[in-house]
Structure 1
C-alpha cells in the first residue's frame, strides 16, 4: 500500500523541499497551502525534478480554525489516511494582527493549527501507524523565552519587550515553545498507540517567508541575515529523516536537531504546564481536553 504524507506550508521553502523529498521516495504527497496559484506552482516545480511524483493539493488558510477543521475532514474522507504528517506552516505576524476569527495570527497559525489538525487526525487514525513531525525552532534560543500561560496571544505587548520591533519575534518564539510543549503532551496522550509525535528544529534557513507579513523595521530585522543562511534542502533533511527513517521507528515525544535528539527547556516538558496549555488550547479550538479516542480502523 502506498504511503501517504501530508505537508503543511508546502508551497515554498522548507515545506516544499520536504514534499519533494517525500515524493522522490515514492510516497503520495498532499501539499497544503493558502493559495491555489501557489500550490499549483509548487506542484509544477516538484514535478520538474520528480516527474513521476504523486501529488495532490489542498487549499487551507491555517490561520483560520474553520479551514483547519475542514482540511482535517477532507484528509480523512477524500484521501487515503496519512501515515506521515509534517506540520511545517509558521508565520511571524505583528502582535496586533488578528484573524477574522479574532485570534492573534501567530498563535493561530503556529500553535492552534497543528494542535487542532494533529489531534483531529489522531482521532481518525484508529490503530494505524503514523508519524507526526512538528517543525519547531532552536531549543537553545527558546530556553530563554518561556510561554506566558496567562497571555497566550501576547496581548501584553510591553511585557514582551520594551523594543516594539522585537515583539513579533518574541511572540513567534513563544509559539515555537508551544510546539515543543504540544509534542510532549500529545505523545503522552498517544502512549500505547502506533502514532509517534516528534519535534524538529530545521536550522536557520533562508527562503522560508516567515516574516512576509511584517513591515518597516520589523521586516528588515527578519530578512537582514537571510542571505547568509543555508537553503531549504538543508532544512528539510531532519524532518524527512524523522518521517521515514527506521532509525527512529517507535521514538516519540522527542525533539531533534541535525538528526540528533536534544533536550528542550524544562518549562516545555513540565507536565503541569503542558497540561495547562493543552486545556487552554482545547478551549480555544473547541475540542474536549480528553485525549483522542481510539477508533478501530475499518478501511
Structure 2
C-alpha cells in the first residue's frame, strides 16, 4: 500500500512495486486522479495488479475508515507512508487541525497504529518517507506547539514558513518511526524511515508556494541536475522489498544506507512525548 500514490515519488514507488509483481493499493484523495494514475501505471506495466482507495488523509475520519478497509483480508505486507503537503500554516481542516500537521504526521500515525492489531503476528514492513536529516537538524519539533500556531521558530519570512513547518513534520515522521519501532520490538513488523533525496516534480507545494518558497521551488524544478521521482522511489522500494534489511527496524536510510538523524529526533523522552500528544489528537490511548 502506498499513500500519496497519484503523482511524483508515490506514483513511481507504486509503479516499481507493481513491476516487481506485487499487488499495489494506491491511496489518493481523488477518484479522477486515482483512475489516471492507474492508467499510467498499467501502460508502463501491462500486467500490473492495482487496487484503488480514495481517502483524504488530511481528515482523520477518512483515515480511520481507510484503516478499517485495509485491516481486512488480504492484509498489507508493505505499507509506504509517502503522502505529504506543504500548506499555509494557518490552513485548518474541517476537523480544526492544521492541514500540514494532519496530512504529514497525524495521518501516518493513526493509519500505521491502526494496522498493527489486524496484522498481528504476521510479517510486514512499514516505510515512512521523511526528508533530509541533515537539513532537518536545524528545525526541531516544537513539542509545545505541534501545529505551529504561535509561529514560534518559523523564521522572519512569511512566505517560507510553510516550508519550515513542513520540515518539522518530517522530523515528526522520523520520531514516530523510532517510537513505533520500539513498541513493536519482538514482533515481525519492522518500521524504518527514508529520505528519498532532493527530487523535482513532487507537487508538494503546488498551489501554495509563494515569495521566497516559490523562487526556491522554481529553481529546484528547473535545475538540470535535480533527479526526478524515479530516483526518489529507489530507496523506499528497496526498503520494501530487499532481503538485506530483513529484521532491521527503527533505522533511517538515505541512498540505501543507514544514517543517523539529529539528537532531537532520537531522544526517547521527546519521541514519547510526541507519541502521547499525537495519540490525544487522534483520539487513541497512548498504549499501543
* TM-score of the two chains, using structure 1 as the length reference: 0.93
- 5+ long unaligned stretches in structure 2: none
What does residue 25 of structure 1 align with?
20
Q: Is the 8 A contact 1:212 1:219 kept in 2?
A: no
Q: Distance in 2 between matches of 1:248 and 1:230?
A: 25
What does residue 54 of structure 2 align with?
59
Q: Distance in 2 between matches of 1:221 and 1:70?
A: 37
Q: Is the 8 A contact 1:282 1:289 kept in 2?
A: yes
How many matched pairs? 285
Instruction: Give every structure 1 segment of 4 or more consecutive aligned residues whose post-TM-superposition deviation is greater than 3 Å.
Output: 218-221
Q: Distance in 2 between matches of 1:213 and 1:93?
A: 9
What does residue 287 of structure 2 align with?
290
What does residue 44 of structure 2 align with?
49
Q: Does 1:7 align with 2:6?
A: no
Q: Is the 8 A contact 2:159 2:210 kept in 1?
A: no
What does residue 101 of structure 1 align with?
95
Q: Does 1:250 align with 2:244?
A: no
Q: Distance in 2 between matches of 1:160 and 1:219?
A: 17
Q: Does 1:265 align with 2:262?
A: yes
Correspondence list, 1:131-280, <5 A: 131-217=125-211, 218-228=213-223, 229-280=226-277
Q: Report the Cα offset of residue 212 of structure 1.
A: 1.4
Q: Report the Cα offset of residue 144 of structure 1.
A: 1.0
Q: Is the 8 A contact 1:211 1:223 kept in 2?
A: no
Q: Report the Cα offset of residue 251 of structure 1.
A: 0.5
What does residue 119 of structure 1 align with?
113
Q: Secondary structure at the match of 2:71?
A: helix
| Aligned partner (choices 39, 64, 73) of residue 34 of structure 2 | 39
Q: Distance in 2 between matches of 1:37 and 1:47?
A: 15
What does residue 123 of structure 2 align with?
129
Q: Report the Cα offset of residue 15 of structure 1.
A: 0.3
Q: Is the 8 A contact 1:130 1:194 kept in 2?
A: yes
Q: Distance in 1 between matches of 2:118 and 2:247?
A: 20
Q: Distance in 1 between matches of 2:138 and 2:117?
A: 34
| Aligned partner (choices 8, 12, 16) of residue 11 of structure 2 | 16
Q: Report the Cα offset of residue 227 of structure 1.
A: 2.4
RMSD (Å) for aligned C-alpha atoms: 1.0
Q: Distance in 2 between matches of 1:110 and 1:205?
A: 18
What does residue 296 of structure 1 align with?
none
Q: Secondary structure at the match of 1:56?
A: strand
